[in-house]
Amino acid sequence: MHNHFNGLKTAALFGVMFAVLLGIGALIGAGTGSSMFIWLFALIGIATTAYGYWNSDKIAIKSMRAYPVTEQEQPEMYRIVRDLSAKANQPMPRLYVSPTPAPNAFATGRNPENAAVCCTEGILRLMTERELRGVLGHELMHVYNRDILTSSVAAAVAGVITSAAQIMLFFGGGRERGGNPLAMIATALLAPLAAMLIQMAITRTREFDADEDGSKLTDDPLALASALRKLETGTQRAPLPEDQRLVNTSHLMIANPFKGGNLKKLFSTHPPMDERVARLENMAGRPLGR
């Protein structure tokens, strides 16, 4: 079991999210006399989830304009990923590089057999080999932990909740059936916010998991801690533009790629770097740099 019970936290967060969805379904059924709409949007959510899940690697690679690289072009990256994949007894993923100075990395793919790992040119210039190994260990664990499926399901359920809440507003609270219009409108407004916050909490929990499991894979938590410190500074100096395609895939990246103030950090899909570094230092039994 993970030291921070991240798997249990993820399951609990999903439970809360599904409870919100079922509650909205019950209110729609009470207000309209039919649960058809909630089932309709559930089916739409499943369809969009399936598409995103099966094409997650293509979507993310395209959004970052990444290109495949050979071992001759990126020998260090190949050496690290090959070693870690063999250590985890998993197949070698496809490797890509994104032509952007913003330092970042991500892994995607529905399973280890269909995985891709991408580094930006910025992170390859910024990291030492030891730090890059820590980053790539983190990214590989996202694939091995099936986090693409987890994030896809969370996004789909959040989307269904938002759509169902819009239906509640459209029907005006079901006044003709004696429902409480104020309660339904309040639920319709608050439910999407709750879904978004739960989705972010799930993503943050999976980041902690990848930090922990990746550090166990590399046997070097302080290397990842050092890399995260560099990324915290590097992403602020060279942020990605907030293009919608990049926003849609930003949760896959090891660090929040956008420049933002305190409010944006509050609603970020990534945990605070200080907390991530502190956990890694705790794993190592000593602070970074000592």
57: buried, middle or exposed (CB in 10 Å: 19+, 13-18, 0-12)? buried
Catalytic option among 71, 76, 131, 139: 139
CA 249 remoteness from chain centre: 8
User: What is the b/e burial string over 121-137, where b = at least 16 CB atoms within 10 angstroms of the residue's CB?
Assistant: ebbbebbeeebbbbbbb
Q: How far apart are CA 253 and CA 249, in angstroms?
A: 8
Q: How far apart are CA 120 and CA 131, in angstroms?
A: 14
Based on the residue annotation, tell me whether 281 is a catalytic residue of this protein: no
Q: How far apart are CA 54 and CA 211, in angstroms?
A: 25
Nearest Cα neighbor of 108 from 66, 78, 156 is 66
**Which residues are designated catalytic?**
139
